[in-house]
Structure 1
Amino acid sequence: MAKPNLAAPGRANAPIAPLTTLRLGGPAARLVEAPTADAVVEAVRAADAQGEPVLLLGGGSNVVVADEGFAGTVVRFTSRGTALHRRPDGSVLLAVEAGEEWDDVVSATIAEGLGGLECLSGIPGCAGATPVQNVGAYGVEIADLLVDVDLYDRRRDVVRRNVPAAELGLAYRTSALKGRDDAIVLRVRFALSGGDDSAPIRYPELARTLGVEQRARVPAAVAREAVLGLRRSKGMVLDAADHDTWSAGSFFTNPVLPQDEAPRVDGLPHWPAGPGLVKLPAAGLIEQAGFRRGHPGPGGRVALSGKHVLALTHRGGGSVADLLALAREVRAGVAARFGVVLRPEPVLVGCRL
């Protein structure tokens, strides 16, 4: 007997731009809303049976879709649900459906008196995308907390449950899942300490804001408010009325280079990034290459954020072509000044730098 298609009926020629934080990109040939993990699997199976390409879309916060749109099926995760399991050692296992809004998850853990995720407050997007990008901020990243995930393996047409985090190749802002669509995250699980203290405050800017020494702990709710304040000051908390938040977040990753190849520039910090490697701040490179906050792209329709040069923002009436032109200008300027090639952080669909 044929399996039922649990996904909602698809819409043809559906706009993608309103489903992204950039508010850019052309239409999808077909858009399917998938309200459960089973519906995600069935929507992808149906597209595969028709030989259609598939684009997976959560919160649309880390994706740039070409102006021409996507000539296939966009499967949008709308699955919801979380579950807490308190373990004998006092720690807590948190299971989250892939379509849950990430900041709602963080807020809910704080409300439950649970610390650990507070430094990842205010990050847009859905929970299922967090291990793909190994999302991180203010000294904490998903790799620090992730236990395992449930995946749909498209090649074998099976759901793999409890795939350990150690098998996902988690590294700085990447994983073995990034840039591919044959292993689809359906559910994620995190281990939290069970207490209401924050993770150790590692990030110097956050420590200064809180007035504590690095590696101190504070109440998780206090750390969350400080993180949200810092993110708002940089236009990194979504606000429909603020064009500085019409972005894909940080557009470039901080480059990691061999120590002997990293440029030495006054005022530009270097952070250890493994044996013989250092990480440089992309924002510092961009600023020292001569780009300032608010630097405009074509026609002023796109621009660097007025609050933070690492965000490329849509000011209204723009296009992905405009955005990429600005990104290329910034990348070329940094390369000419420092010999460092910046890499984009968002997923580029049907377009490239």
Structure 2
Amino acid sequence: MQNMTPQNNYPAGNVPLFDLAHSAAFKADMVYQHLQRRFGSRVHRDEPLAPHSAFGVGGTADIWIALESRDELIGLVSLCAEEHWPLLLIGNGSNIIFTDTGVRGIVVRMTDHEYQINKEPDGKVILNVSAGSSWPRIANELAPLGWGGVEFGIGIPGTLGGGIVSNAGAHNHDLSEVLESIDVLDARGCNLEGDALSLPIKRHYTRDELDLSYRYSRFRAGHESVFDEQGNILPVPHRLIEPAEIVMALGIRLHHEEPQLLQEKIRQYQQERKEHEPPHNHTGSIFKDPLGQPASQLIEQVGMKGLRMGPVQVSDRNANYIVNNGGATTSDVLNIIKEMHRRVQEKFNVNLELNVELHGQ
């Protein structure tokens, strides 16, 4: 994809919030019928969101669609912008918690899994891969071919596109170490109102333009769930198109390595993950690690490791995970997260930052 000259420049997180009065005019039945003619059985009405979240909680989405290509994504985003239909794009839901009231509008998940391995003129070998690709799947497919570079993420349940947003990592590695570039669908202009509205634009960014650091990229600015002054968790701000910049493809640097060595690394990483993560239904880590000490240790030191509050429980393996023992609601999950945050702040004066996102309205 060619690098395109920006038509508008929007500071990250500085696009006006979409006026929710527009979504009141969202006629779900009419929209469903329109989209069903276009996408067939992949469109669902009143879709339960719990199966699409790693934690297994949440209400319903007015409309759910599984998209299979970038062209479908570009067409749908353009249509939603023109018609003022709210749209939320998600990955595998490994770090998402949906509210009990669910999500109004359209929720989309990318299911494409396409990749090519190309040798560049400078000798680099680049994996060009769709953002919707599962990290474990791509790692398992590349290892027998002798291509290393992404095997450290074998236990990360999310997509590679989602991994960019949080600069996901494991085993003392993260995505920024191997990332070369990304292709993005910039829909920030779609979130403007009136005559200022513009259609989405394809853009190409190099790694150095993404402000990658520990569990952070510039795509996270203004798109994070935070605690208010009363300790309540606020959902990610709602815009017409969320996220406003949609990662469509990644360029990842690969290297040659013996297939047997790569597969042994994968087995080792999987075993380490198995030993430290709860075996039951759970999200990714709840909090980012603050400087100096893992969040799991702080939570354990305030007496919450293994603690149950109704149907949810702080994991007895790693206190930065929460387990749904069955029948939990989003409210149950949020209550225990709030208690973890409150106790750590009171005892250590550490304001733990969320590593999970709350979505819905």
SS of 2:97's partner is strand
Calculate percent identity across the aligned residue pairs: 29
Q: Does 1:284 align with 2:297?
A: yes
Mapped to 2, the partners of 1:288 and 1:162 lie a distance apart of 45
The answer to whether the aligner puts 1:17 opposite 2:50 as a matched pair is yes
2:253 to 180, 187, 191: 191
Cα distance in 1 for partners of 2:61, 2:77 equals 15
Q: Distance in 1 between matches of 2:93 and 2:247?
A: 15
| Residue of 336, 346, 350 corresponding to 1:340 | 350
Question: In structure 2, do the counterparts of structure 1 residues 288 and 98 end up closer, same or farther at CA, with 3 Å as the change threshold?
Answer: same
Question: Which of these residues, 320, 323, 346, is aligned with residue 313 of structure 1?
Answer: 323
CA contact (8 A) 1:289 1:334 kept: yes
Return the letter of the residue paired with 2:284: G
Work out whether 1:220 is the aligned partner of 2:230.
no
For the residue of structure 2 that corresponds to 1:248, the secondary structure is coil
Q: Paired residue for 1:323?
A: 333
Indicate if the aligned counterparts of 2:74 and 2:200 stay in contact, CA closer than 8 A. no
- Cα displacement (A) at 1:6: 6.3
Describe the superposition over 1:64-100 as per-residue Cα deviations: whole angstroms up to 9, x where unpaired: 1101000111011111211111345654200111221
Aligned counterpart in structure 2 of residue 295 of structure 1, from 307, 312, 328? 307
State the distance in 1 between where 2:344 and 2:353 align: 11
Tell whether the 8 Å contact from 1:7 to 1:43 is kept in structure 2 after alignment: no
Change (3 A) 1:194 1:158: farther
1:166 is aligned, of 208, 230, 238, to: 208
| Alpha-carbon distance between aligned partners in 2 of 1:52 and 1:148, rounded to the nearest angstrom | 30
Deviations 1:325-348 (A, max 9, x none): 000111111111101011110111
Instruction: Please give the alpha-carbon distance, in whole angstroms, between the structure 1 residues aligned to 2:63 and 2:167.
Output: 29
Match of 2:276 among 214, 234, 238: 234
CA deviation after TM superposition for structure 1 residue 311, in Å: 0.6
Alignment partner, residue 169 of structure 2: 136
Instruction: Tell me the residue number matched to 1:259.
Output: none
Q: Deviations over 1:302-330 (max 9, x none)?
A: 11123211111211101010000000111
CA contact (8 A) 1:93 1:192 kept: yes
Helix, strand or coil at the partner of 1:253: coil
Q: What's 1:182 paired with? A: 244
Greater relative contact order, per chain length (Cα 8 Å cut-off, separation 6+): 2
SS at match of 2:218: coil
Deviations 1:240-282 (A, max 9, x none): xx42xx12110110013xxxxxxxxxxxxx3xxxxxxxxx211
Task: Flag the 1:86–1:6 CA change in 2: closer, same or farther, 3 A.
Answer: farther
For structure 2, the 5+ residue unaligned runs are 1-36, 190-197, 224-241
* Unpaired runs of at least 5, structure 1: 198-217, 237-241, 257-269, 271-279
CA contact (8 A) 1:7 1:39 kept: no
